[in-house]
Each structure stands twice: as C-alpha cells, then as structure tokens.
C-alpha cells in the first residue's frame, strides 16, 4: 500500500517540515502515519464492519451516494441517486379548495375549530393527498467467496479527504478498500488492493427492490430500471446504474447479472447512476447517456488521478473552515465507543467532529446541479422511507441549511435556491387555484415534483408558510455573500412569496389584525382539540422577516417602490408577539399554551422569532426573551433529534451556554446519534446533524445587532479552542481563538475599508478592515 495516505495526513495536521514528519525512514513514516491517523480530528473509525445501515459510512457527490458497509466476505454499497423518486410530474391542485375557503375562515373566526378542520380536510386538501417518496437505487454487492474472519480490521471515513477506507488482514494478506464519490468526476469509485499479487477475487452484482433488470453494455454491468407509481401517480422515471471494472492483473468474466474478477492485483470499480429526471415537468433524460459519459471519462483518468482530483476538489470546500474545542484522551477511542460513552466521557472533540461531519454531509449531499438535502440527505435504502425522505418544510429542510452559510459552504445552498425557484412556479398554481391569490405558496411538505398544496391531513398540512420560511434562506445567502446580482436574480421569487400574503391574509373581524387563516402552529394541537386556527405566532414572525427582507431587497435593487409601501403597511398590521399568563411566549394569539394537550410537543414553532430569526433576543427585547425561556422550560429538553437540536440553538441564542451544552450532550448520546453519527429522530433524520452544528456555532459567535458577539454562550466545558473561516453576515469571515473562556486572537476578512464592531461581554472593540483584513489580540 503506497504511503500517500500518511503524507496527506501529516500535511493535514501541519506536521510536514516540522521535524515530526520530515526525514523519516519508510517504517518510521508508516508509524508516524498510524499515530497521526489515530489522532486525526477529522476521522470516524471502527473496529468491525457495519451490520446495520446506521453503522455504514456515507459518501456522496451531490448526485450519486453510497452507504459503505466494509464487510470482509461481502461488501455492500447501498446506492442512491438524488433524482430517483416515486411517481412522475403531477399537479396536486384541488379545484374544490377555493370554494370552501370562505366557510373554513368563517368557522375559524367563530371559534368552531374542529368543524373548520374537518371541512378543510374534506374540501381543501391536495389531490392526491400524499406526495412521492425519495427511493433507493439498490445495492452493489461484492462477494469475495471467503469467510468473514480477519485480523487488524479497521474502517474509517476521513472527512478531510472524503474517502472511506476498509483495511484488514486475512491469511497473511492485507487488503485495502477505498471508496469515494467525486463531484469532480461525477463517479463513485471503489479501489481494491492487496499487498500480495493476484490476491483479489470477487463477484460484483446488483440487487434492487425496484423494477429492474441487469445487462451488459460495453463490458459494463448495467442495472436498468423504472421507479414505482405512488399514491395514484404513475411511474415516469427510468434509471440506470453502471459499473465498469478496471483490473490490474487477473481476469474478468462478464455476464449479464454479474462481473467475476479472479486473481487480480488491484481493481478499480467505476460506478455512475442517472435517472431520466430533467426537471419537475421534464423526464425526457436518457440515463445511459449520462452514466456512459461519466464512466468513460473516469476510466480514462484511472484511480490515482481520480483520487487526487477528488481529494483536491473536496478539500477546496472542506478546508474553508476548521474548529477545535479541545481534545482529551477520549478522542483516541473508536467513534462508536465515543458515542456510546458520551454521557460519561469528557470529550469536547466529539462536538467538533460532529460539526465537521455535518459539513462533510452537506458537501456530499447538496451540490450545484443536484437536489437539496432530503430528510435523509442523500442516503436512503427504501422504496417507502419514513416520511417519504422528502422535504418537510415546516422545520426539517430549513434546519438542514442552518449551518451552510456560517460554516463556509455557500455553494451547497444552491440546490435549495433552485428548489425554491421551482416551487415559485408550481406554487403559483396552488396560490391561484386554492386561494385565488397572486404570487406562490408552499405548504408543509414538498417532493421532487415540487408539489406545494396542503397534504397528509389538515391538522398537519393546512399551513401556508413553508415557502415563506424557505425564502429566509434565499435572503441569508445574500446577507452572507452580499452579491447583488444574485439578489436581483432571486428578487422575483421573494417578491412573489410576499405578494401571496398581501392577497391571502385576512382581517380578523374581532381584532382588525391581518392574519393567516386557515393555518396552524406546526403540528401542535390547541386546547380545542384541533390545530387549525388563525394567525399563530410563527406565521406572523415568518411574515415579519419575509416582508422586511423584501423591503430591504427592493431598496438595495432600487425597484418596486409601491410594493415596498404595500409590504410595510401589511407588515405593520400583523399580530405582535404576546406573553401569556404563565409568563410564556404565546404560541397562538389566544393564551392557550398551558392547556394545550401536548405540553412537551417537539415543535417549538413560536420560538422561530428567537432562532433562526433574530426578532426576539436578549439585547433588544429582553422581556420577550425571558418569555421564550419560560416556553422552552415548559416544553422540556428531551425530544426527537431535530427538536433537541432546535432547543440547543435557542438556548445558545438566549445566551445560556451551560444549558445549551447540557442539551448538546443529549444530542450526541447514543439515543440521538447512531454509531455512524447520523442523527436519530429516531429513525435516522439528517436535520439533527445540521441543527446540532449550527447550535455549536451559535455558542461561539452571534450577530443580533450591528455587533459581532464573541463567545456569547461559551460553555465552561470548552475553556480553550479556536474556529477558523466562520462566515459572518455582511460578506465577512472570522478566525477566533480563546483561552480560559476569553478571546485571545481574532482575524477578520471582509470588504476593504469597512468597520466591524466586536463585543465580548461588556467590552466593545471597533476594527477597520483596511485592505480587507484585520488582526487583533483581545
């Protein structure tokens, strides 16, 4: 096995040329490499193969993904393609909905909530009432025809290289398997080597629950298939997975159904997947064309080039950011052990690994040209996964993107922007047919086909705010990057999202306020046994952001002065946040919180104003902030993975670092984190990985007003540490180090000549970014 791995490791750790990495004998170098490997902060590693799917390690290039099991006798690569979903292009618009709307509204304003909900259920829901699922391609199995007995077993995922490596010894031969999914080449690549010539023999074959057949084409093993019909929507997609074998030595027998390699020295497998999906209304693609092109181009490059190209491209993203929260001896344990024992170990590096793992996941599952991260990112082994593994936009999809801008992964937001652009088209039909309104709307879920109507059941689906919330991410992309050409490009999407509400908000006859109706506070029942209501707190909070961002965007772009006025007038008539008799922030306009049937409900929708929004905070609105804390206490800390993650962000925002840290421990424990570090709802849902990550950042740096707050919620468990490449609003970036809980050194980058106000506790320091950078010792 060449020692490229170890050289990379030493340079990654900054050891080259320091005397620690330089001038060693090959044996010494190998030893140093092993030690470096054990210490690397960027590696997940295990002493045995994955038995469960949530032990396998993910790779992905934003399009093709795989879960790598690392079996000795049999390797399983569970494959995904981000555009393989059930059904086909469809419109869920329900022409009956509009006629029922006035009556549903009347019932709500008369306080007849259950009747309103029943009527909405009967007349206003999408047709079909369920959306399509994200689906697996199937598995590629490599069967070695040996027993599973092996020595020296180790499998790892190196986040910094984007490679899964499995290594073991059998009968005196050391075998190494490396798997990567490269955005640079579009291919999934498996490299198999052994330290004795001729030692590699195996059979490769596909298995799939889809309607599919195996074929040979240009010597490649090809799986052709079609997706499945769902919920009355016909199957419209075809797909293909193709594997090419490049063997060094030995023989390859090719037959439909399997490729059999015998006596090879080394083998590279190049795998590509494609579907016929071209867009929400276009399924005319030819999968074979795409897979062949990828496989042929990759085969011409060969393993070494493919790997180097991949590592360089991956690092160009991954190394934009780094984090160190301190290291203890626990970091030397295998990853599953660290998670299993995390409730008793002192292991601050586990939180840093969690952050970097989330970045790795986003880099792997959300790339320009692909689909946004689903409930499971890119990784799903089922035809009918939990909640369809699609886009739940009443929290989960948004949470997936919370850490994207701050952890310096702006390009990963692009698929989300594209999805919102497509929703602004499909959602315009729903706005018109269901509400008789201009603009566009998306309710609480969407899928590959960008369905936007209310689904599943009125008590979950009758919530017209999903699109509006997603627009916050479009705005944030501008706010972090300050690219006005981008803002001009997305302006019509933002504008039309707001226009929908100009038409669809109604005057509450009792109060004169402008409210959403019918709506609900996501998935939570109020004391009348229904969820349907008018103007829940979250809706007004989201709308305050949407209108404010639209007004700001129009000003920056110098457009639509009349609309700006309309938006401002509408915004001023939205209900304000209220404090209830229990001292809590009210979830509804009525003081219902203390008598609602599920006091510990997972959703904390009314706290949107605290995080991700900044409307309520300890600096500007201390009374509302105190009420938000009361609401959080009433809800309790323990919930599903994503709900725990949201709570951590909220406590951090509210400047309660110790409380945030104690809940983070719950998230990192074995009940909420699987051995492969995937978040457990349970079942696996990737949002918790991303929400937990943004929460860690929120403890380190916040921007609530025109200051940058340094270490605003630093827990005592992280007295010393550093973060590099953390992006800030205003097109800026910060590197920060701290000791004994106090900042030591700060570096800033941003637009030249601008002034930045930094604050730590009561101390404020103003720095000028002369020549676009500044450095100071605190």
Query: How many Å is the Cα radius of gyration of the chain?
Result: 27
Check residue 387 for interaction with ligand FUC (CB under 6 A): yes
Q: How many residues bind to ligand FUC according to rule CB under 6 A? A: 10
Cβ distance to ligand FUC smaller for residue 202 or 387 = 387
Cβ atoms 311, 161 nearer than 8 A: yes
Cβ distance to ligand FUC smaller for residue 353 or 375 = 375
Cβ distance to ligand FUC smaller for residue 617 or 685 = 685
Cβ distance to ligand FUC smaller for residue 167 or 459 = 459
Q: How far is the CB of 673 from ligand FUC (least distance, A)?
A: 16
List the x/- string, 173-212, binding to ligand FUC by CB under 6 A. ----------------------------------------
Q: How far is the CB of 720 from ligand FUC (least distance, A)?
A: 36
Check residue 397 for interaction with ligand FUC (CB under 6 A): no
**d(Cα 245, Cα 254) in Å, to the nearest integer?**
10
- Can you point out the beta strands (E) in 99-187? 138-143, 151-158, 163-170, 173-181
Site for ligand FUC in 519-538 (CB under 6 A): 523
**d(Cα 441, Cα 635) in Å, to the nearest integer?**
30
Check residue 392 for interaction with ligand FUC (CB under 6 A): yes
Site for ligand FUC in 566-605 (CB under 6 A): 602
The residue to which tokens 């689903």 are assigned? 374
Check residue 374 for interaction with ligand FUC (CB under 6 A): no
Check residue 679 for interaction with ligand FUC (CB under 6 A): no
Tokens standing for 691?
A: 């929400």
What letter does residue 111 receive in the DSSP assignment? T
Q: How far is the CB of 392 from ligand FUC (least distance, A)?
A: 4
List the x/- string, 623-642, binding to ligand FUC by CB under 6 A. -----------------x-x
**d(Cα 371, Cα 550) in Å, to the nearest integer?**
26
**What 3-state class would DSSP assign to 277?**
coil
Among 136, 396, 446, 673, binds ligand FUC (CB under 6 A): 396
Q: How far is the CB of 107 from ligand FUC (least distance, A)?
A: 25
Q: How far is the CB of 459 from ligand FUC (least distance, A)?
A: 11
Segment (H or E) for 119:
helix 113-123
332 backbone φψ class: left, alpha, beta (φ>0; ψ -120 to 50): alpha
Kindly list the distances between the CA atom of residue 234 and the CA atoms of 125, 276, 729, in Å, as whole numbers in the listed order.
Answer: 20, 15, 45
729-752: b (≥16 Cβ within 10 Å) or e: bbbbbbbbbbeeeebeebebbbee
Cβ distance to ligand FUC smaller for residue 368 or 599 = 599
Q: How far is the CB of 651 from ligand FUC (least distance, A)?
A: 20
Cβ distance to ligand FUC smaller for residue 367 or 681 = 681
Cβ distance to ligand FUC smaller for residue 12 or 632 = 632
- DSSP H helical ranges for 273-413: 287-318, 335-340, 348-365, 396-400
State the Cα angle at 363 between 360 and 365, rounded to 5°. Answer: 105
In the Cβ-directed half-sphere of 22, how many Cα atoms lie within 13 Å?
Answer: 6
The residue to which tokens 């074998």 are assigned? 245
Among 291, 685, 693, 702, binds ligand FUC (CB under 6 A): 685
**d(Cα 530, Cα 527) in Å, to the nearest integer?**
7
Q: How far is the CB of 691 from ligand FUC (least distance, A)?
A: 11
Among 116, 142, 179, 375, binds ligand FUC (CB under 6 A): 375
State the residues that interact with ligand FUC by CB under 6 A: 375, 387, 392, 396, 523, 602, 640, 642, 681, 685
């Amino acid at each position: 096995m060449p020692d490229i791995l170890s050289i990379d490791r030493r340079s990654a750790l900054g050891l080259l040329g320091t005397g620690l990495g330089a001038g060693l004998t090959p044996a010494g170098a190998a030893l140093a490499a092993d030690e470096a490997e054990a210490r690397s902060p960027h590696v997940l590693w295990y002493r045995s193969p994955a038995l469960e799917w949530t032990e396998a390690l993910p790779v992905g290039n934003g399009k093709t993904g795989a879960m790598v099991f690392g079996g000795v006798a049999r390797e399983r690569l569970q494959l995904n393609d981000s555009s393989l979903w059930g059904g086909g292009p469809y419109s869920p618009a329900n022409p009956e909905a509009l006629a029922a709307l006035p009556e549903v509204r009347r019932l709500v304003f008369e306080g007849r909530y259950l009747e309103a909900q029943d009527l909405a259920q009967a007349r206003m829901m999408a047709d079909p009432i369920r959306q399509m699922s994200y689906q697996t391609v199937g598995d590629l199995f490599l069967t070695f025809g040996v027993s599973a007995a092996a020595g020296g077993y180790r499998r790892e995922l190196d986040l910094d290289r984007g490679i899964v490596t499995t290594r073991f010894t059998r009968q005196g031969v050391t075998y190494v398997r490396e798997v990567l999914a490269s955005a640079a080449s579009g291919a999934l690549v498996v490299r198999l080597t052994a330290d004795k010539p001729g030692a590699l023999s195996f059979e490769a074959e596909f298995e799939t629950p889809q309607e599919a057949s195996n074929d040979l084409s240009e010597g490649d093993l090809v799986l052709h298939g079609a997706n499945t019909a769902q919920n009355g929507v016909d199957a419209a997609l075809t797909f293909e997975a193709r594997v090419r074998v490049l063997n060094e030595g030995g023989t390859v027998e090719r037959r439909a159904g399997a490729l059999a390699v015998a006596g090879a020295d080394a083998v590279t497998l190049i795998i590509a997947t494609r579907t016929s999906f071209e867009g929400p209304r276009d399924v005319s693609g030819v999968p074979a064309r795409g897979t062949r092109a990828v496989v042929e181009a990759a085969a011409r490059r060969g393993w070494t080039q493919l790997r180097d190209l991949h590592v360089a491209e991956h690092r160009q993203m991954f190394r934009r950011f780094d984090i160190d929260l301190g290291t203890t001896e626990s970091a030397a344990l295998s990853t599953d052990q660290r998670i299993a024992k995390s409730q008793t170990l002192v292991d601050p590096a586990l939180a840093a690994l969690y952050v970097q793992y989330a970045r790795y996941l986003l880099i792997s599952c959300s790339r320009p040209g692909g689909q946004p991260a689903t409930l499971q990112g890119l990784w799903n082994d089922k035809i009918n996964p939990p909640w369809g593994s699609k886009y739940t936009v009443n929290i989960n999809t948004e949470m997936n993107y919370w850490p994207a801008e701050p952890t310096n992964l702006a390009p990963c937001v692009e698929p989300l922007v594209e999805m919102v652009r497509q929703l602004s088209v499909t959602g315009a039909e729903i706005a018109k047919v269901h509400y008789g309104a201009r603009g566009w709307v998306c309710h609480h879920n969407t899928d590959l086909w960008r369905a936007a109507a209310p689904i599943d059941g009125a008590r979950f689906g009758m919530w017209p705010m999903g699109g509006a919330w997603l627009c916050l991410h479009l705005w944030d992309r501008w706010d972090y990057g300050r690219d006005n050409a981008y803002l001009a490009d997305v302006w019509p999407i933002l504008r039309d999202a707001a226009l929908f509400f100009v038409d669809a908000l109604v005057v509450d006859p009792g109060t004169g306020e402008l409210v959403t109706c019918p709506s609900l506070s996501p998935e939570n029942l109020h004391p009348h046994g229904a969820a349907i209501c008018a103007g829940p707190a979250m809706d007004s909070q989201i709308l305050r952001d949407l209108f404010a961002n639209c007004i700001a965007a129009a000003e920056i772009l110098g457009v639509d002065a009349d609309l700006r006025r309309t938006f401002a007038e509408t915004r001023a008539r939205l209900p304000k946040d209220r404090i209830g008799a229990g001292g809590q922030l009210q979830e509804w306009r009525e003081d219902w919180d203390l008598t609602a049937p599920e006091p510990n409900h997972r959703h904390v929708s009314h706290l949107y104003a605290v995080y991700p929004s900044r409307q309520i905070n300890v600096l500007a609105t201390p009374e509302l902030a105190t009420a938000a804390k009361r609401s959080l206490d009433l809800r309790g800390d323990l919930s599903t993975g994503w709900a725990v993650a949201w709570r951590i962000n909220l406590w951090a925002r509210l400047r309660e670092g110790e409380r945030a840290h104690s809940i983070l421990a719950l998230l990192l424990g074995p009940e909420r984190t699987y051995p492969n570090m995937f978040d457990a709802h349970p079942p696996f849902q990737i949002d918790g990985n991303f929400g937990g990550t943004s929460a860690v950042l929120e403890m380190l740096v916040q921007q609530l007003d025109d200051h940058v707050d340094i270490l605003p919620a630093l827990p005592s468990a992280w007295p010393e540490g550093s973060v590099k490449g953390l992006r800030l609003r205003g097109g800026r970036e910060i590197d920060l180090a701290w000791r004994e809980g106090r900042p030591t050194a700060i570096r800033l980058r941003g637009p030249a000549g601008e002034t930045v106000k930094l604050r730590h506790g009561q101390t404020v320091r103003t720095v000028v970014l002369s020549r676009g950078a500044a450095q100071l010792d605190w």
